[in-house]
Amino acid sequence: MILPYCVYVLQSEKDLLLYHGYTTKLEQRLKNHNAGKTKSTSKRRPLRLIFCEYYLSKQDAQRREKYFKTNQGKRMLKLILRNTLRVIQYPK
Protein backbone atom coordinates (compact mmCIF):
# COMPACT_ATOMS: atom_id res chain seq x y z
CA MET A 1 0.00 0.00 0.00
CA ILE A 2 1.25 3.46 -0.91
CA LEU A 3 0.64 6.13 1.72
CA PRO A 4 -0.79 9.24 0.04
CA TYR A 5 0.13 12.10 2.38
CA CYS A 6 3.68 13.36 2.80
CA VAL A 7 5.00 15.79 5.40
CA TYR A 8 8.28 17.22 4.18
CA VAL A 9 11.08 19.56 5.20
CA LEU A 10 13.00 21.63 2.69
CA GLN A 11 16.17 23.62 3.18
CA SER A 12 16.79 26.85 1.33
CA GLU A 13 20.21 26.79 -0.30
CA LYS A 14 20.08 30.60 -0.29
CA ASP A 15 19.60 31.30 3.44
CA LEU A 16 19.98 27.70 4.80
CA LEU A 17 16.68 27.94 6.71
CA LEU A 18 14.03 25.22 6.79
CA TYR A 19 10.47 25.10 5.40
CA HIS A 20 7.80 22.56 6.46
CA GLY A 21 4.80 21.43 4.43
CA TYR A 22 2.57 18.54 3.42
CA THR A 23 1.35 17.25 0.06
CA THR A 24 -0.01 14.28 -1.85
CA LYS A 25 2.38 14.83 -4.79
CA LEU A 26 5.88 15.39 -3.43
CA GLU A 27 7.75 15.56 -6.75
CA GLN A 28 5.32 18.11 -8.20
CA ARG A 29 5.37 20.13 -4.97
CA LEU A 30 9.18 20.31 -5.04
CA LYS A 31 9.07 21.47 -8.68
CA ASN A 32 6.54 24.16 -7.75
CA HIS A 33 8.69 25.36 -4.86
CA ASN A 34 11.79 25.58 -7.03
CA ALA A 35 9.91 27.22 -9.91
CA GLY A 36 8.83 30.04 -7.58
CA LYS A 37 5.15 29.05 -7.67
CA THR A 38 4.93 28.93 -3.86
CA LYS A 39 4.73 32.42 -2.38
CA SER A 40 6.28 31.51 0.99
CA THR A 41 9.46 30.07 -0.57
CA SER A 42 9.78 31.89 -3.89
CA LYS A 43 12.51 34.23 -2.62
CA ARG A 44 14.37 31.42 -0.84
CA ARG A 45 15.15 29.27 -3.91
CA PRO A 46 16.71 26.90 -4.64
CA LEU A 47 15.32 24.43 -2.10
CA ARG A 48 16.22 20.84 -1.43
CA LEU A 49 14.36 18.05 0.29
CA ILE A 50 16.02 16.91 3.52
CA PHE A 51 13.21 14.95 5.23
CA CYS A 52 9.80 13.41 4.58
CA GLU A 53 7.29 11.15 6.33
CA TYR A 54 4.25 9.47 4.77
CA TYR A 55 0.79 9.02 6.29
CA LEU A 56 -2.46 7.27 5.39
CA SER A 57 -4.58 9.99 7.01
CA LYS A 58 -4.67 13.60 5.82
CA GLN A 59 -5.48 14.74 9.36
CA ASP A 60 -2.40 12.94 10.76
CA ALA A 61 -0.19 14.59 8.12
CA GLN A 62 -1.63 18.02 8.85
CA ARG A 63 -1.18 17.52 12.60
CA ARG A 64 2.45 16.46 12.10
CA GLU A 65 3.19 19.46 9.87
CA LYS A 66 1.64 21.78 12.45
CA TYR A 67 3.71 20.11 15.20
CA PHE A 68 6.95 20.66 13.25
CA LYS A 69 6.16 24.38 13.26
CA THR A 70 6.00 24.55 17.08
CA ASN A 71 9.10 25.14 19.21
CA GLN A 72 8.88 21.62 20.62
CA GLY A 73 8.48 20.16 17.12
CA LYS A 74 11.46 22.12 15.81
CA ARG A 75 13.61 20.82 18.68
CA MET A 76 12.49 17.24 18.06
CA LEU A 77 13.17 17.54 14.33
CA LYS A 78 16.65 18.89 15.06
CA LEU A 79 17.33 15.87 17.28
CA ILE A 80 16.13 13.42 14.63
CA LEU A 81 18.10 15.16 11.89
CA ARG A 82 21.19 16.13 13.89
CA ASN A 83 23.63 14.40 11.51
CA THR A 84 21.81 15.62 8.40
CA LEU A 85 21.79 19.19 9.74
CA ARG A 86 25.53 18.98 10.33
CA VAL A 87 26.13 17.71 6.78
CA ILE A 88 24.00 20.44 5.20
CA GLN A 89 25.62 23.09 7.42
CA TYR A 90 22.38 24.21 9.04
CA PRO A 91 23.00 27.32 11.17
CA LYS A 92 23.01 26.74 14.94
- pLDDT value, residue 43: 95
Alpha-carbon dihedral sign for residues 44, 64, 90, 87: negative
The model's pTM: 0.93
- pLDDT value, residue 56: 97
- pLDDT value, residue 91: 86
Local mean pLDDT, 10-residue blocks, the chain (92 residues): 94 94 97 96 96 98 97 96 93 78
- pLDDT value, residue 89: 87
Of 60, 62, 61, 54, nearest to 2 by C-alpha is 54
